[in-house]
Structure formats: structure tokens, C-alpha cells
């Protein structure tokens, strides 16, 4: 909304995550096609990150597919704007298979014509996986779990150029029990973590060496985090604004009943909500 009006931000091409803590007038964003890992303890604000991304995706008219293996507790709040949802392992296999079929179809259609697609060639498709550790199972569910992991890996490795983005959120930074496809997520937002060793697991030693300190984020600051982009080797310390349940429930798809507008008649925020509990700014941040 306010931020995307600024001349130096191409609407829809980036997700605004929040604002720099040292300078709340400066917004922090990531390319809309950068696969993103959001890693943080319980109550660190992962839900806020997802809410901000989904709000912006809705405003841009993209598709949202949501895997939430905690029985849909988070995802169902967005039911009115979801194109696909999966709340158990069987549904996740079906959703992820279909996501990959979509990637195959786009690849088939555009191979040799374009090296990468934008919204004018194919609708942007955002795949959100919350509580990623719940996808990693042993025992009777291991086969299904392995299939899901392979499908996520396949989506991560092939979909970026085809105007799809995968965002994975988890409390657990471990590769073996949470993120077996970790190396394919090149951008990481680490919210509050328990220890330096968790931070190294979540972001890598290089990020910690360059100043990321997610284990020092206080409990009283949910939504604070360090963004690490391995493509640019940059660390940013930022605050992600809070999005209320009411704002989430008021989201409407562009072209749907609300025509991209919330129930209150005001436009769905294309950027983080102004109702954040902390770090609220009254002046629009600038993009650096």
C-alpha cells in the first residue's frame, strides 16, 4: 500500500518483510521469487512473517498454496484466499505433486522461449509450508514423509524461474529432523533462536561471523530477526510488523468478492500492516 507506491519499489516484484531496527524508515525486502526459510522458536513471530507475505501475495493477485501439518491451525485463518491447502500428510503429497505438475506444465510451455517467467507470462504461485518439521516422520508415515521431502526438493530446485516461490517456516533449524532440503533455500530469516549453535545451524557460520545474533533477541521482541541472503552475502536486522487475526480474516482475493479490498472497504495492505505492536512508524519507509 504505502510502500509499494514509492517509485523505487516495483510493485509485486519484491516482498517487504519489515523495517530495519536501526533505522525504521528503511524497509527490508526480498525478491518475490527468492525461496525463503523462516526459522525461529515458538512465539518468535513466524506467523507474522507468513501473514505479511500472504497479504502482499493477495494484493499482487498471485496464488497461495499452504501446507500446515499442525492440522491447519495457522492455514485455516487464510482459507478465503487459499488456492490449495493440505492439513495432513496425504493431502501434502497430493498438493506437492500438483505443485510439481504445475512446474512441469510451465517448463513445457516456456522451454526455449524464456529463461524466467514473470506475472505477465504466468500467475505467481506462493507455496507456504508452516511447521516444516512435522513433515519429517519415521515409522509408518516415513514413506509418505520421504515422498513429500522429494517433492519439496523438486519444487525448490525447479520452480524459481517459473514464477513460483517456496517459503518454509519451522521452529527447528536441524537439517535431519526439519529441513532436509535446507541447501536449496538461499534466503533465511532467523527470528529468536535458543543458542548460537542453533543460529549456525539456521544461517551458517558465515552469517554469524557477519553479525547475525538471533539468540540474543529478547522474548519481548517477537518479529525481530536477521535476514541472510547468500546471493548477496548481506545481513539485515529487522522488525516484521504484527498482523492481527482480524486483518488476516479480512483478506480478500483480488477480483473476488472484495475485489482486493478488505471488509472494511480499505485496500488489503500490500505491505506489512501498520497495526504492529512494536517499531511502528508513521512515515513510509524507504527501500535501500
Give the interface with Mg ion as residue ranges (CB under 5 A): 46-47
Comparison of 45 and 285: residue with beta carbon closer to Mg ion: 45
Q: Which stretch binds ligand ATP (CB under 6 A): 29-37, 114-122, 195-203, 271-279?
A: 271-279
Do residues 212 and 190 lie in contact, with contact meaning Cβ atoms separated by under 8 Å? yes
Q: How far is the CB of 40 from ligand ATP (least distance, A)?
A: 5
Q: Do 267 and 10 contact (CB within 8 A), yes or no?
A: no
Cβ contact 54:249 at 8 Å: no
* Range 223-252, binding ligand ATP (CB under 6 A): 223, 240-242
Phi and psi dihedrals of 239, rounded to 5?
-115, 130
Does 269 help bind ligand ATP (rule: CB under 6 A)? no
Q: Is 45 in the site for ligand ATP (CB under 6 A)?
A: yes
Q: Which is nearer to Mg ion, 82 or 162 (CB)?
A: 82
Got the DSSP string for 92-160? HHHHHHHHHHHHHHHHHHHTTT-SS--TTTS--EEEEEESGGGG---GGGHHHHHHHHHHHHHHHHHSG
Cα–Cα distance between 91 and 112 in angstroms, integer? 33
Return the bridge partners of 37, or none.
168, 188
Q: Which residue lies nearer to ligand ATP by CB, 163 or 273?
A: 273
Q: Rounded to whole angstroms, how far apart are CA atoms 257 and 261? A: 9
Give the residue, chosen from 10, 11, 43, 116, that forms a contact with ligand ATP under the rule CB under 6 A: 43
Helix (H, G, I), strand (E, B) or coil at 253: coil
Question: Which residue's CB is nearer to ligand ATP, number 80 or number 278?
Answer: 278
Q: Is the CB of 47 or the CB of 285 nearer to Mg ion?
A: 47
Spatial CA neighbour of 208 closest among 218, 194, 198, 217: 198
In the complex, what is the shortest distance from the CB of residue 48 to Mg ion, in angstroms, rounded to a whole number?
A: 9
The region of 37-45, 60-68, 141-149, 150-158 touching ligand ATP under the rule CB under 6 A is 37-45
Specify the residue, 13 or 278, whose C-beta has the smaller distance to ligand ATP. Answer: 278
Q: Which one, 25 or 70, has the nearer CB to Mg ion? A: 70
Nearest approach, Cβ of residue 140 and ligand ATP (Å): 26
278 interface partner picked from ligand ATP, Mg ion, none, CB below 5 to 8 A per type: ligand ATP
d(CA 37, CA 147): 20
* 188 makes contact with ligand ATP (CB under 6 A): no
276 binds, among ligand ATP, Mg ion, none (CB under 5 to 8 A by kind): ligand ATP
Interface with ligand ATP, residue 47, by CB under 6 A: yes
Beta bridge partners of 187: 36, 229
Is 44 a binding residue for ligand ATP by CB under 6 A? The answer is yes
**Cβ of 56: how many Cβ atoms within 10 Å?**
27
CA–CA separation, 206 and 203 (whole Å): 8
Contacts to ligand ATP by CB under 6 A: 40, 42-48, 171, 222-223, 240-242, 276-278
Amino acid at each position: 500500500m504505502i510502500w509499494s507506491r514509492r517509485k523505487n519499489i516495483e510493485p509485486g516484484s519484491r516482498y517487504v518483510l519489515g523495517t530495519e531496527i536501526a533505522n525504521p524508515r528503511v524497509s527490508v525486502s526480498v525478491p518475490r521469487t527468492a525461496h525463503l526459510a523462516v526459522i525461529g522458536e515458538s512465539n518468535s513471530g513466524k506467523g507474522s512473517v507468513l501473514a505479511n507475505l500472504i497479504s502482499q501475495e493477495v494484493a499482487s493477485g498471485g496464488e497461495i498454496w499452504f501446507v500446515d501439518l499442525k492440522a491447519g491451525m495457522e492455514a485455516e485463518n487464510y482459507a478465503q484466499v487459499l488456492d490449495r491447502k493440505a492439513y495432513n500428510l496425504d493431502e501434502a503429497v497430493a498438493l506437492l505433486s500438483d505443485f510439481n505438475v504445475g512446474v512441469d506444465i510451465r517448463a513445457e510451455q516456456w522451454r526455449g522461449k524464456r529463461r524466467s517467467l514473470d506475472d505477465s507470462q504466468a500467475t505467481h504461485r506462493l507455496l507456504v509450508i508452516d511447521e516444516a518439521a512435522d513433515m519429517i516422520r519415521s515409522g509408518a508415515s516415513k514413506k509418505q514423509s520421504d515422498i513429500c521431502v522429494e517433492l519439496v526438493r523438486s519444487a525448490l530446485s525447479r520452480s524459481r524461474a517459473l514464477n513460483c516461490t517456496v517459503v518454509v517456516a519451522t521452529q527447528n533449524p536441524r537439517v535431519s529432523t526439519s529441513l532436509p532440503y535446507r541447501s536449496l533455500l538461499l534466503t533465511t530469516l532467523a527470528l529468536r533462536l535458543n543458542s548460537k549453535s542453533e543460529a549456525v545451524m539456521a544461517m551458517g557460520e558465515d552469517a554469524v561471523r557477519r553479525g547475525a545474533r538471533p539468540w540474543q533477541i529478547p522474548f519481548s521482541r517477537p518479529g525481530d530477526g536477521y535476514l541472510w541472503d547468500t546471493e548477496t552475502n548481506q545481513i539485515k536486522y529487522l522488525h516484521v510488523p504484527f498482523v492481527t487475526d482480524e486483518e488476516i480474516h479480512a483478506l480478500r482475493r483480488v477480483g473476488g468478492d472484495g475485489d482486493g479490498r478488505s471488509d472494511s472497504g480499505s485496500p488489503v495492505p500490500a505491505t506489512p500492516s501498520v497495526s504492529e505492536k512494536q517499531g511502528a512508524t508513521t512515515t513510509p519507509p524507504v527501500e535501500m
